[in-house]
Amino acid sequence: MESSDTVLPVLVIHPDDNCAVALEEIVSTDPGKCIPKGHKMATKPIDEGKPVVRYGYTIGLASCAIAVGDWIHLHNCKSRYDDRGNSLDPQSGNANDTQYE
């Protein structure tokens, strides 16, 4: 992700998508720019509150501005249908409002 000439191993599913799926882990010298295999990365800038589009459909809303090349996950994408889903732990995906014994 260091050079604009780099071809990344990603799949854009629909022409209206503003994100792509990493077909393998994308490693960067900037730890915040690493994208795990199977996860989404932004292919276009996405302003806060704007739709994240995959498969040609809105799959969530940007909870903050997302730059091209950024990993899209729970830390910057929220559900527009389910408020509880917006409180999931970004690393584990566990609900923060549930007590686990």
Q: Domain with 25 in it: what CATH number? A: 2.30.130.110
CA distance 20 to 59: 13
Specify the pLDDT at position 93.
65
Specify the pLDDT at position 75.
87
- The answer to whether residue 94 is domain-embedded is no
- The answer to whether residue 28 is domain-embedded is yes
- What's the pTM value of the predicted model, to 2 decimals? 0.76
Show the tokens assigned to 24: 């393998």
Q: Is the pLDDT of residue 88 over 90?
A: no
C-alpha 39, offset from chain centre: 7
- The answer to whether residue 63 is domain-embedded is yes
Give the mean model confidence (pLDDT) for residues 79-83: 73
Q: Give tens-digit pLDDT for 27-74.
A: 888 766 789 999 999 999 999 999 999 999 999 999 999 999 999 998
Question: How many structural domains is the chain composed of?
Answer: 1
Show the tokens assigned to 11: 């799949």
Specify the pLDDT at position 34.
86
CA distance 24 to 89: 23
- The answer to whether residue 99 is domain-embedded is no
